[in-house]
Structure 1
Amino acid sequence: MYSCQQVLVNKNSELIAILTFLCEESHKLTNMGIYYGRQLFFKSHKTLGKFELEKVYKNNYHYKVLYSQAAQQILRTVVESFRSYYGLIKAYSEGKITNRPRIPNYRKKGGMATVSYPKQALKLKGNKIRVPLGNTCKRWFGVDSFFIPMASNLAFSTLKELRILPRNRCFTLEFVYEKEVIVQPQLNQENVLGIDHGVNNWLTCVSNCYTSLIVDGKQIKSMNRWYNKQVSTLKENKPTGFWSNRLAAITEKRNRQIRDGINKAARIVIHHCLKNSIGTIVFGWNKGQKNQIELGHKKNSEFVPIPTARLKERIAQLCSEYGIIFIETEESYTSIASFLDGDYLPNYGEKPNDWKPSGKRIKRGLYRSGNNCFVNADCNGAANIIIKVSRKLSLDLSRLCRGTLTCPQRVYLWSAKNRRSNTDLSCCVVST
């Protein structure tokens, strides 16, 4: 099992100058590979071989200034993108996908691209990693390598790859390392957790073992709102495509905060499952729900930037590590149907003309069932998400009662109370 840890490069002018040069050369070499692949496809309709680009450009000085294994990895990444395009074209012609794929296009002029080094090319000297450069670089500048600090919480023996990632006018080092396999606990797969996602209530979780919780999303929404206001102010009366160091700084800050929030929210859900021996998670998700959505300018700016899809993928990844079954199901009509009244839940587009829910959402966050029982509206939706798959999985929902839907526990991502009681959740390592 592999994991990745990101480390931001400090303001070291000599190191940043070297990283800038490497990423610029990677950008140019990538565009050269894309040019060859496009011309080969347009003029002869042939496909790229795995090592074809390396044979074509091995004598080019953009290839030679980089260490050979790093240059090979850059060109093989280009080949992989074209092979993916060939497969998508075939799937489109067979009618398996509806949108026609586009051939890989050139990167923008003057940009930078990622550089990757395998473990074989790296050496540890003291507490620093020696990263080699190409022979041409040594002949031009008299430099054959440079050093970067090793992550203090990782062992060099577990390192598999080092990536240099340029992003928002700064550089991030990605350490890909081999992670120890977690001993999977014995969980009860008949215990199930239904998850309904939203904005203010980012995740509403309801289980059939008398537990429910809400992962608060107001802080994430506030971060996006602050970011949108800052960008709008800085870009006011500026030409299209304007970018600055200030915009890059606030974008990087916002991305780090969002990434931290995703990891914390996912860990909270997994910790809840481990604590209550829950072996199955059902996540309600409608594919393409953000495409061409029209909720108004304000609602769109709040809902669309929330990275719930990334959070769903992170939860699924942690589920595979801990032996939890992860199921994704469509969530049509789960918000308006009444769980306590046992309303029938049709799939999207299959609703009968005479279908009508027994209850009603009378105000924000409050749902009234057909027999005048008041429950949390999002908890009602999460319970209905479990209903979507209950018959297929033969789940027992007798313990999913009105009390579970009425008083969910609210958990905040950044809270002093959470740090005191759940230090293993609030201080988790940012990894993907």
Structure 2
Amino acid sequence: MLFKVGKYLNNAELDKIMKTNVHFRALRSACAQQTLHGVIESFKSYKALKKKYDKGQLTDKPRVPKYRKKGGLSVVSYPARWVKLVKGQLKFTLGKQVKAWFGIDHFLLPMPSNIDFKSIKEYRFVPRNGCFYLEFVYERPKPKPVTPTENVLGIDPGLNNWLTCVSNIGKSFIVDGRKVKSQNQWYNKRVSAIKKGKQCDYWDEQLASLTERRNCQMRDNVNKAAKFVV
């Protein structure tokens, strides 16, 4: 509608247009609607930025949200009310069209033991590098305020010495960064070998798997270092 008549659709209008779409019907209605509403929010942001650009309040011209590439995947969100806990398993129901196509109407995933089921507000299936991650959206209690102190820790980041830390109470330590550096070097060498002789934007499942593994390693390293320092 934007490109034909310059009109921005709202949530209700887009839902009405897409309700007969076979892909829309393949999902639970709440999941499909949230996906559509995410598109609406993207165009709302574009509209607001374009107004600012037209008024001279922005230097860079905003770009219209792009179409997802062929084969691209999107986040799917399940409101908590659509998910049931059955014998320690989370039950995610599917649309009638999926049942007609594949003969299944739900799937089960284990419920984490460190999260209260009743506190969860939303579930998000996030595709990344050939994997799917389930994110749990829930409210956390407000952390207790930190008691003011005069203790100070100075941190100097580096490579081989990842974190060099010195406090004002006479304590110091170094977090070794050679393992992190080695993991990154190995990843870069493997990527370079796979992409040799190919286009710069070449990508395949092997690269996706390597990238996801490396990202998990880096995330684990950062979490462990932060826990040690704190």
TM range (shorter): 0.7 to 0.9
CA contact (8 A) 1:169 1:248 kept: yes
Matches within 5 A, 1:288-307: none
**Match of 2:194?**
234
TM-score, normalised with respect to structure 1: 0.48
Q: Does 1:100 align with 2:61?
A: yes
CA contact (8 A) 2:127 2:133 kept: yes
State the identity as a percent. 51
* Correspondence for 1:116 among 67, 74, 77: 77
The letter of the residue matching 1:62 is H
CA contact (8 A) 2:11 2:36 kept: no
* Correspondence for 1:151 among 107, 112, 120: 112
Q: Highest Rg: 1 or 2?
A: 1
- Give the whole-Å Cα distance in 2 for the aligned partners of 1:250 and 1:180: 36
**Match of 2:227?**
267
* Correspondence for 1:186 among 147, 150, 157: 147
Q: Does 1:64 align with 2:2?
A: no
Cα displacement string for residues 326-370 of structure 1 (whole angstroms, at most 9, x for unaligned residues): xxxxxxxxxxxxxxxxxxxxxxxxxxxxxxxxxxxxxxxxxxxxx
**Match of 2:86?**
125
**Match of 1:258?**
218
Instruction: Give how far 1:246 is off.
Output: 2.7
Distance 1:99 1:192, change over 3 A: farther
Distance 1:139 1:178, change over 3 A: same
Distance 1:239 1:158, change over 3 A: same
**Match of 1:45?**
6
Distance 1:136 1:255, change over 3 A: same
- Give the whole-Å Cα distance in 2 for the aligned partners of 1:146 and 1:219: 39
Alignment gaps of 5+ in structure 2: none
Distance 1:192 1:49, change over 3 A: farther
**Match of 2:182?**
222
The letter of the residue matching 2:61 is R
- Give the whole-Å Cα distance in 2 for the aligned partners of 1:252 and 1:236: 20
Matches within 5 A, 1:202-351: 202-205=162-165, 213-239=173-199, 241-269=201-229, 271=230
Distance 1:210 1:166, change over 3 A: same
Report 1 or 2 for greater relative contact order, CA contacts < 8 Å, sequence distance ≥ 6.
1
The letter of the residue matching 2:89 is K
Q: How many residues align?
A: 230
**Match of 2:15?**
54
- Give the whole-Å Cα distance in 1 for the aligned partners of 2:104 and 2:152: 58
Q: For 2:109, what is the secondary structure of its paired residue? A: strand
The letter of the residue matching 2:36 is L
CA contact (8 A) 1:196 1:204 kept: yes
CA contact (8 A) 1:165 1:171 kept: yes
CA contact (8 A) 1:48 1:83 kept: no
Root mean square deviation of aligned Cα: 2.6
Distance 1:43 1:241, change over 3 A: same
Q: Does 1:135 align with 2:89?
A: no
**Match of 1:91?**
52
Instruction: Give how far 1:227 is off.
Output: 0.5
**Match of 1:321?**
none
- Give the whole-Å Cα distance in 2 for the aligned partners of 1:151 and 1:266: 23
- Give the whole-Å Cα distance in 1 for the aligned partners of 2:219 and 2:12: 36
- Give the whole-Å Cα distance in 2 for the aligned partners of 1:208 and 1:53: 60
Instruction: Give how far 1:152 is off.
Output: 2.7
The letter of the residue matching 1:169 is G
